Amino acid sequence: MARKPQYSPSRLGTYQTCPRQYWFQYIRKLPRRAWANQSFGNSLHRTLQQIHETGGPGKLEDGLTTLESAWTGAGYATREQEAEALLRGKDLLARYYADWSVQEGTPILLEKRLSAPYKDVMLLGIIDRVDRHADESLEIIDYKSGTMPETLRPATVQQLAIYHHLIQARLEETPRRHSIHYLSSNARISLPFTESSLQEVLEGAYETIRAIEGDQRYVPRVDRHCHFCDYARHCEAADEAPPREA
């Protein structure tokens, strides 16, 4: 019997952005291109994982060495652009170290891949970090390499709600805080979830899964996001995208 697909936040987010992009990526499985901002984010994620696996921020020079060894240069247009990004990563890491507080919780999960059933489907996620606090409560932490936005993206809210479900299923505990740490702002925001708002978001994710499973056409959804689409050169609708800048 065929294994049911597992639905991750990024898989759902891709369909919500554009069903045709989803089709290229998950049905036709065309290769994706490397983007500098993704390489930057991945380098920081690996660095923070290693730092916290070895006891958390200690000497900054050790953290900077970890960043250099975790660094990936894929997607940068020039060596100069990559060098600038590495400097920015070091600056950002220095601020992370400077603001690190012993009041932080203790990480109990780092870059953990979890899956769990939800109704008749499987949800999947790789969770950056889960902390246990002194009062025994759990905090889910997701790192974003960019700056803190004025309003949270619905995809981010959906991602945290799915992580909540996965942690609850794995640890049989209810996480109390659901946080996004914006590394370029060095600021953390916790989402004001309630039990009912969490369920509402999960229901929305499930509706997207139903739409995916019933979709026969994967109609392109053209917008400015087409300028950042890995599959624009394959897509019949890409030329209809509005100009990149408003």
Footprint on this chain of ligand SF4 (rule: CB under 6 A): 18, 20-21, 24, 220-222, 225-226, 229, 231-232, 235, 237-238
CA 222/CA 241 separation, integer angstroms: 6
Q: Which is nearer to ligand SF4, 14 or 66 (CB)?
A: 14
Distance CA 183, CA 93 (A): 8
Burial tier of 184 (Cβ tally within 10 Å: 0-12, 13-18, 19+): middle
Residue 234 per-residue DSSP state? G
| Smallest distance, ligand SF4 to C-beta of residue 155, A | 14
Residue pair 107/131 in contact (Cβ under 8 Å)? The answer is yes
Say if residues 237 and 20 touch (Cβ distance below 8 Å). yes
Minimum CB distance to ligand SF4 smaller for 198 or for 226: 226
Distance CA 90, CA 95 (A): 9
Report in angstroms how near the CB of residue 224 gets to ligand SF4 at its nearest.
9
Classify 161 as helix, strand or coil. helix
Based on CB atoms, which residue is closest to ligand SF4, 34 or 222? 222
Q: Give the nearer residue to ligand SF4 in terms of CB position, either 189 or 232.
A: 232
Please report how close the Cβ of residue 227 comes to ligand SF4 at its closest, in angstroms: 8
Give the C-alpha separation, 56 to 30, whole Å.
38
Nearer to ligand SF4, 71 or 231 (CB): 231
10 vs 106, beta carbon nearer ligand SF4: 10
Q: How far is the CB of 231 from ligand SF4 (least distance, A)?
A: 5
**Smallest distance from ligand SF4 to CB 235, Å:** 3
CB of 216 to ligand SF4, least distance (A): 17
Half-sphere exposure at residue 219, Cβ-oriented, CA atoms within 13 angstroms: 3
H, E, C per residue of 156-182 = HHHHHHHHHHHHHHHHCCCCCEEEEEE
